[in-house]
Amino acid sequence: MRSKLRFIMNSARCFRTGLLLVITVLLVASMAHADVCVWRDPERTMQKIFPQARDYETIERKISGEKARVIENRLGKPLDPGERQDWIFYRIMGNKGEALGYVLTDAEKGEYGAIEIVMGITPEGKVAGVYIQRARERDKEFKSKDFLAQFIGKTKESPLHIGKDIKAEGSLPAEQVSFAARKMLIMYDELRKEK
């Protein structure tokens, strides 16, 4: 009887260990890339970039396989798996419903987790402002007003590379923010009129 009980207890322990291993592998795999980020508090934060903002409209675009390839070619890097099906951005409106611009969001993988970036662009496609919604990085330069102000006025034609048109120490977070800004401008250019 004791040997049966010991066998059952050992089997249960092995099952728990195996289950924990599977859960750990799945969690690590899910953190291997960063997906498009969610704009966490639109009502409160849309005025950070567009002070006259009074409302917003969510716009969703489906991404065809061909369109994803075009975006990746322009970007020079594959999109993350969660970025290949659809893309969401936001039309920002003033008191009379006029379009003030658009808010675009992205998340890129930092050293300590996702770096969530929110960027506003004018109706003409120029960057109106950028802020970091959430990040756990130790480096703080990429959150500074001086660093983020460099993106204002940039367009889809801008290189948006550290050392070219963006000055920074070249840390991973600064590189990721620059890449995210370029990606969002390219995605907006390719998907804004898609239905």
Residues 63, 8 share a domain: no
Residues 95, 37 share a domain: yes
Residues 40, 25 share a domain: no
Residues 67, 11 share a domain: no
What pLDDT sits at residue 113? 95
Q: Is the pLDDT of residue 20 over 80?
A: no
Band of pLDDT at residue 195, cut at 50, 70 and 90 = low
Residues 133, 158 share a domain: yes
Residue 62: which region, alpha, beta or left (left: phi > 0; alpha: psi -120 to 50)? Answer: beta
Residues 117, 24 share a domain: no
Residues 48, 2 share a domain: no
Domain that holds residue 22: 1-30
What pLDDT sits at residue 45? 87
Q: Is the pLDDT of residue 19 over 50?
A: no
Residues 142, 83 share a domain: yes
Kindly tell me the sign of the dihedral angle through the C-alpha atoms of 64, 177, 158, 50.
Answer: positive
Band of pLDDT at residue 32, cut at 50, 70 and 90 = very low
Residues 40, 6 share a domain: no
Band of pLDDT at residue 2, cut at 50, 70 and 90 = low
Q: Is the pLDDT of residue 36 over 90?
A: no
What is the number of structural domains in the chain?
A: 2
Per the structure block, which two tokens stand in for 57? 């409209």
